[in-house]
Structure 1
């Protein structure tokens, strides 16, 4: 059996996932092929890992182009041509809204092969007009199974018409062992910051809500809390200068900005941090930095709008969940966290580590395998006439957030 994974790009978290999956499937006698559309660009363009060094059967269709430079029609035709050469028995692809998902659905329909879509976007993450959701429902009737993060996302794909037995969990995991091991390896290295600090890692874009976090943080620091910490930003983006200005007199005193770091470098910062905060307002389909922080043994302060909050964060046990729209509520959580001792925060971090223990690559591999077993035991979904017509014309769109 040959299984293909197709998406816009497979960067950052994906190479290690795919490597683990390749080893897992080989033991099952299954060959894995990876098809990546664009070799440049993406929100994670700072990640420079060479995929081909990690995995041999890995094809980048347009290695020197960003997805924004490739028309959806061109991308879909290239994916279909590649799948015709690979001739997979099962195809996994990114969301139906993207060219990868559109191409996979069309090819699998024409070739009577099962297609499994991996997606982590909930309805509230990407609000759409009713007619767009109707069209997506027609496309989803051509999908044989889904790989999604957790039960928190089930209602979204039930809304789109999939049955519970078609939904499998496993996407949105990180290399837990890496972060746990690296934290121990780097434990004796120099602390990367002179004062206790709270990490704020991610792209500096409006939806992350960093500006409101800064305002709440400054307000709490003015109350002279018993166990204060600095706020350490790691990342970059179009909001960077806005955030620097919002920090005012606290810039380089208690609020600090660092550029993007590799995952190896991040391990040092995780190891010595008091915790991690992610205050996103919208569109945070999961929040994998939370997985990383928890695997490193940190408590996490997470917006209730983040896809991971319901599943990974147990309020006042391994962290705090808060409403991100209200600066006062963010400040309340920061104040509670600053009133805790280092020992209390450490205890929270141990709970984090226990929770995230089941979210390593084994979860991803098992979810993929269960989905494969399911689609191979079922008849290919025939869908509706309207779905087939839409599939024939829909080439997807690329709208990075």
Structure 2
């Protein structure tokens, strides 16, 4: 078993796709160890991001399969295994435990005797848990040598599933804090002093993002404002429910007060954060909620659903924002009113507190968490799967 300095370790960091978040993490991790980034797919299945630009950092994109069905799965497995063989990593960080891609990578590592780091942002409450599925997870998690979790809730869930506390590091969920922090002040200085205050939300238009309840709560907030001028609402994003969202905005009489610019590339986001007065994220379930990181790095107070995995670590009640039950429309209305009623100097203070809190949850934390996870993985060594584990992995990979 290898006891070398982690700085000499060659680590393969695997992701579904190199989005802007992953680029910031890879750059930071590469400052402390030899890193090769591997993406399973050249395009995101959820976001229309531009291709990654990471300079000289080694990046590998697994070529898309030309087949369909079971043949495509076998083809992908062959290509990914060849990719890993060419890299010859000493440790491999794998995203999650559910996807076929992650399971193929784990299976290869187990056969080759390469220690693995499970990168996880799942928590116990993000969906209904079923006994047999939890048993399967326990078996898969036990095949990993270490873990890099998002935050407190995610580490707690990994421990519940059998991973030792000393095997878990934190910091998986990070964005490029410095970039957002640098853009904000410059953009704010250029804004017209008559800029109207607004709530900003950024999310895909899909059911779990809870946009329907957010709009209902916003409409109610406007009705109870009294003599105070209501804030506007800006909804960034796009998705399958856009037509329904537009219809609801019309039916609630909100068209003059709600803006929907659509999906924006990373470079376009700071302008909207700079114009906002506060950020709101209303998901009914969310493994983390990286848009909250972005907003806090941009110096905004935040309103965050208590179902978001980031809420426990990033929101200090009354200090940098408030949490709320995403299914309680009246409660959401109340926190919107509470935030909008605060004086300007208090909002700025809360924004500074957001910057203070998020400073400890940026790419540097990801890099340190990954370094610690690599040390742990190398000390633990590659796991030796039982016959049950090998059969289980084979079955799961054939789905």
TM-score (norm 1): 0.91
Aligned counterpart, 2:283 = 280
Distance 1:346 1:69, change over 3 A: farther
C-alpha distance in structure 2 between counterparts of 1:166 and 1:130, whole Å: 24
Q: Which segment is superposed worse, 269-278 or 378-387?
A: 378-387
Q: Any conservation in 1 of the 2:210–2:283 contact (CA below 8 Å)?
A: yes
SS of alignment partner, residue 97 of structure 2: coil
How big is each residue's C-alpha offset from its partner over 1:331-358, in whole Å with a ceiling of 9 and x where there is no partner? 1111211222222211111111111111
Aligned counterpart, 2:6 = none
How big is each residue's C-alpha offset from its partner over 1:119-165, in whole Å with a ceiling of 9 and x where there is no partner? 10113214343222212211111110111012221221112211101
Q: Does 1:334 align with 2:336?
A: yes
Q: Which segment is superposed worse, 120-129 or 13-22?
A: 120-129
Distance 1:41 1:290, change over 3 A: closer
C-alpha distance in structure 2 between counterparts of 1:119 and 1:72, whole Å: 23
How big is each residue's C-alpha offset from its partner over 1:49-95, in whole Å with a ceiling of 9 and x where there is no partner? 334x5354211112588999994443333211211221111011111
Aligned counterpart, 1:270 = 273
Aligned counterpart, 1:323 = 325
For residues 88-127 of structure 1, the aligned pairs below 5 Å read 88-127=89-128
Runs of 4+ in 1 over 6 A off after TM superposition: 64-70
C-alpha distance in structure 2 between counterparts of 1:56 and 1:2, whole Å: 13
Aligned counterpart, 2:263 = 260
C-alpha distance in structure 1 between counterparts of 2:339 and 2:79, whole Å: 51
Q: Any conservation in 1 of the 2:24–2:176 contact (CA below 8 Å)?
A: yes
Distance 1:113 1:297, change over 3 A: same
2:236 to 227, 234, 237: 234
Aligned counterpart, 2:4 = none
1:42 shift after superposition: 1.4
Q: Which segment is superposed worse, 125-134 or 251-260?
A: 125-134
2:307 to 298, 305, 311: 305
Q: Any conservation in 2 of the 1:104–1:115 contact (CA below 8 Å)?
A: no
Q: Which segment is superposed worse, 248-257 or 333-342?
A: 248-257
Q: Any conservation in 2 of the 1:319–1:348 contact (CA below 8 Å)?
A: yes
How big is each residue's C-alpha offset from its partner over 1:185-220, in whole Å with a ceiling of 9 and x where there is no partner? 323334599421110111111111111111111112
SS of alignment partner, residue 348 of structure 1: helix
Aligned counterpart, 1:152 = 153
Distance 1:270 1:65, change over 3 A: farther
Aligned counterpart, 1:16 = 24
C-alpha distance in structure 1 between counterparts of 2:125 and 2:148, whole Å: 19
C-alpha distance in structure 2 between counterparts of 1:177 and 1:234, whole Å: 22
C-alpha distance in structure 1 between counterparts of 2:207 and 2:123, whole Å: 19
C-alpha distance in structure 2 between counterparts of 1:366 and 1:187, whole Å: 32
TM-score (norm 2): 0.91
SS of alignment partner, residue 54 of structure 1: coil
C-alpha distance in structure 1 between counterparts of 2:314 and 2:233, whole Å: 23
Aligned residues: 389
Provide structure 2 residue ranges, at least 5 long, that are not aligned to the other structure: 1-8
1:396 shift after superposition: 7.5
C-alpha distance in structure 2 between counterparts of 1:176 and 1:320, whole Å: 21
1:19 shift after superposition: 1.9
C-alpha distance in structure 1 between counterparts of 2:69 and 2:127, whole Å: 20
Q: Which segment is superposed worse, 204-213 or 225-234?
A: 225-234
C-alpha distance in structure 2 between counterparts of 1:118 and 1:396, whole Å: 22
SS of alignment partner, residue 220 of structure 1: helix
C-alpha distance in structure 2 between counterparts of 1:69 and 1:258, whole Å: 40
What is the root-mean-square deviation of aligned Cα atoms in Å? 2.4
C-alpha distance in structure 1 between counterparts of 2:152 and 2:300, whole Å: 24
